[in-house]
A and B are shown apart, each in its own frame.
Chain A
Amino acid sequence: MNPFKKLLESSEKHFTESGRFHSLEPLFDTIKTIFLFPSPRNKQVPFVRDNLDLKRYMSFVLLSLIPVLIFGIYNTGFQAGLARGETYTVFRSFLTGSRYVLPIILVTYGVGFFWETLFASLRNHKISEGLLVTGLLFPLTLPATIPLWQVALGISFGVVIGKEVFGGTGRNILNPALTGRAFLFFSYPLSMSGDVWVAAKTTVDGVSSATALSIMAPEGERLATLLSDSGFTLSNLFFGFVPGSIGETSALCCLLGAAFLIITRIANFRIIIGGIAGLILTATIFYLIPGGSHTWSDAGPLYHLCAGGFLFGISFMATDPVSAPGTNPGRWIFGGLIGFLTVTIRVVNPAFVEGAMLAILFMNVFASLLDHIVIKYTASKRIPNV
């Protein structure tokens, strides 16, 4: 017998009804079911069930985040090197990057699981797999230099207010990871806003670096020129060798993740394609409107696509099925409007340099309304059967 199974079975008695750690039963159950996949016999019709379950479903999102995560770690170190005026080797970049990124992830999972276990114990239900995804998405939306206590605070807000107060995974209105980020964004703008500290703060005093979106050209100059002068060439933005939040910089890695999610049908392609189409369309319209050539309205669709966190958000955040619409037309509109709002916020509202987060949260709120309209419409097209 598997030694692990033996260990789990021998310790199970402590977590049952009369055991010492009965209140930690959900935690034990989670650990047990991760290692020993539960397969009870079906008791209700149909007596056959698909092999896909929520654990696998959620772990596929984690898989899709691997390119983003690896590149994020590398880029954090790489940017730290640049800030010190050096070019780090790949290995050193990873080493430096890991020192910043891994603690953030560990804190997120630690604090997240604490809340999840607390609520599961209080409400006597199982720990949901949703946290696996939230716990990796949230760190990737943060700048590498964020203080760890803020990480803990952010994920607490995300899990408790974003999810648990609504009843847990599956019942939340907003994406919990983005809720946590929005909380930090408005509470601690200094560590979150457009001027992102590069992960070299501890070694070189006061080195800060703007993200692409916070750049605005002086009157009379073109934005595109200034962007490339500051190192934000389109190719740099596409591959991601720019400062920014850990996971958002590389458009390529986000697209890889998105492609994986679309091929495995975990994410709905309608949201991603709709979002990209909405963004390109809106950016083109703004580009064609004369005037404002020094602002982001002049950036054109490609810059809008590659800069900032839009691709990360539309691939991994907007596709969270719980907070997105559940109907196909709803998904198209949802994605399209996220693209539209992202560009509009970037261009029209200079107070917020990054529109993707706000656009997604805003549309999360409208997701159920979109569903409502679509369902009522399709119901009206059916031949009534009452």
Chain B
Amino acid sequence: MMKHISLSKGFKTLLSGMPDLSCVQIPEPETIAVSAMDIPYIRPRLLVKKNAPVKTGTPLFCDKRNPCIVYVSPGTGTVQQIVFGERRRLKEVVIALEKKEAFIRFEPLSSNSLDSVPRTTLIQQLQKGGLWQCFREFPSKDTADEAHAPPMIIVSLNGNDPFSPHPQVVLENETKAFDFGINLLNRFSKRVIVTSRQDSLERLNGVNPHITHTVPDFYPAWDPGVVLYQLKKTQEENRSWCISAEHLLLVATFLLTGTYPVKRVVTVTRSTDKRPHIITRQGAPVNHLVGDLDDTSLITTGLFNGRSVDPQSHLGFFETTLTILPDPQTEEFLGFLHPGMTRPTVSKTFLSCLTRAPKTLDCNLHGEERACINCGYCTKICPVDLAPNFIMKALLSDDIEDALSYGLLDCCRCGLCAYTCPSKIELTNILSHGMDAHYKDKE
């Protein structure tokens, strides 16, 4: 039985650049990497040295906070380079791929034997295999705490972005693994929630029976944080877990085969294109996926909540989409008076709000930062009913207690508050920092 989660707030403007549902396999890249930039809260400790040979599944670095959590190599070859950023922060471990692939092998499970394996064995196997981090725990969305039995596990079929890979492409021919994955989740929690966008529902025949809830078709209704906010009834449920459908598949495939799965489906979107989904290896270089860019466009791993990436860097473990945002770089003459037939906006101050035509987002600020004028645009769009302006003021005056009581930790970092703010205040950043500071304090 599917239930519908009704939700009224979110980003409803149609965007151009929707990826095509077809699928292409691109040639293997020369290098791959495991990036530490998209891993939340990690304090990495390197486990390999430069020029060391690695197999597929060899741990490259672990998390100092819990050394059982390892990040493994998604390919066979040698460590070509270890890239550090400012203050010697680990950015990525780059591996030069070799033709011949060798795996670190684990004992495979069969779908019937799952029930007889103890929970701790499953967890240990996933940790050693480098896939435990697929499970994330609310409210911080840090790696799940294996000692804790979550009241709910939310599986989202739709990724972090409006243009994330379509679940039909991701789950194609994977029904058996997905079934296995759901059975596995049932071992971890009494309540497993599987959500899907309404419009991707009809193409999902194989996994349809597992879907418990449908969500509306606008960003970020399918975000696990939003789903949790809409479903939770008790305070304990704040510590639920979430996992994306593609990661659940990885976990299931790993347990069934005993080898680290390296295949990923990613999308590369640009407003002027309609590119197909791409099948590639985990950690492929950005320029390998995007192709040559001759302009100053910005590449992000999600329109509203992704990080910006260099063309030379590599896609992270958690990232499945790349968006190329144009940068017009013009200071328009009297720009603030433009009628704006084609400008995307959630306000009603451009003529574009009268048309349904798909709009193009770019990477410009469109204005300058000003003081908050309490206009309430952020409150109007926040999918978890926060008042980001008031929380921002509480955080800036160091009043964490107030910010928490206003629901700060329900924030799903969707980015819409900062997107919509006419004063161009970095609301998402301020709220996000507030949550992180609170979480690190507690740790």
Contacts and interface: CB of A to CB of B under 8 A. Distances in A.
8 contacts: A37-B367, A45-B304, A47-B300, A49-B366, A50-B344, A52-B420, A321-B375, A386-B405
A44 B426 contact: yes
B363 A52 contact: no
Contacts of A44: 418, 426, 428-429
Given A41-B363, A47-B308, A385-B407, A59 B336 contact: yes
Interface string B302-332: 0111111000000000000000010111111
Contacts, number: 213
Given A326-B387, A326-B390, A128 B327 contact: no
Nearest to B303: A48
Interface stretch (B40-48, B145-153, B198-206, B347-355): B347-355
A46 B304 contact: yes
Residue from A39, A52, A265 having most chain B Cβ neighbours under 10 A: A52
Contacts of B207: none
Contact of B349 (A33, A57, A129): A57
B335 A327 contact: no
A36 B329 CA distance: 12
Contacts of B328: 39
Given A47-B308, A50-B420, A60-B349, A36 B367 contact: no
Interface stretch (B26-34, B122-130, B177-185, B230-238): B230-238
B370 interface: yes
B365 A40 contact: yes
Contacts of A170: 370-374, 423
B358 interface: no
Interface string B355-379: 0000001111111101111111101
Interface of B: 139, 232-235, 237-238, 298, 300, 303-308, 325, 327-337, 340, 343-350, 361-368, 370-377, 379, 385, 387, 389-390, 404-410, 415-416, 418-424, 426, 428-429, 432
Contact of B389 (A45, A130, A326, A384): A326
A48 B419 contact: yes
A76 interface: no
Please name the 8 residue pairs, one residue from A and one from B, whose CB atoms are nearest each other, closest first.
A37-B335, A53-B367, A170-B371, A46-B415, A36-B331, A55-B336, A39-B364, A48-B361
Nearest to B13: A50
B363 A263 contact: no
B431 to A, nearest CB: 11
Contacts of B333: 2, 4-5, 35-37
Interface in A28-79: 33-42, 44-57, 59-60
A41 B365 contact: yes
A53 B366 contact: yes
Interface stretch (A112-120, A338-346, A375-383): A375-383
Nearest to A372: B390
A49 B406 contact: no
Contacts of B404: 385-386
B363 A379 contact: no
Nearest to B378: A326
A384 B236 CA distance: 10
A47 to B, nearest CB: 5
Contacts of B372: 170
Contact of B424 (A45, A53, A59, A266): A53
Interface of A: 2, 4-5, 33-42, 44-57, 59-60, 126, 128-130, 167-171, 263-266, 268, 321-322, 324, 326-327, 371, 375, 379, 382-386
B379 to A, nearest CB: 7
A326 B422 contact: no
B298 A52 contact: no
Given A35-B333, A39-B366, A45-B428, A52 B410 contact: no
B374 A33 contact: no
Contacts of B330: 39
A268 B308 CA distance: 36
B139 A385 contact: yes
B370 A39 contact: no
A46 B305 contact: yes
A49 B424 contact: yes
Given A5-B333, A53-B366, A268-B376, 17 more contacts: A36-B332, A37-B331, A37-B332, A37-B336, A39-B331, A41-B327, A45-B432, A46-B428, A48-B362, A51-B340, A51-B366, A52-B347, A54-B367, A326-B376, A326-B390, A375-B390, A375-B406
A265 B380 CA distance: 11
A42 B364 contact: yes
Nearest to B413: A45
Contact of B335 (A39, A171, A384, A385): A39
Given A46-B304, A383-B233, A171 B348 contact: no
Contact of A379 (B307, B348, B406, B426): B406
Contacts of B429: 44-45
B375 A264 contact: no
B337 A54 contact: no
Nearest to A29: B368
Nearest to A266: B349
Contacts of A45: 304-307, 415, 418, 428-429, 432
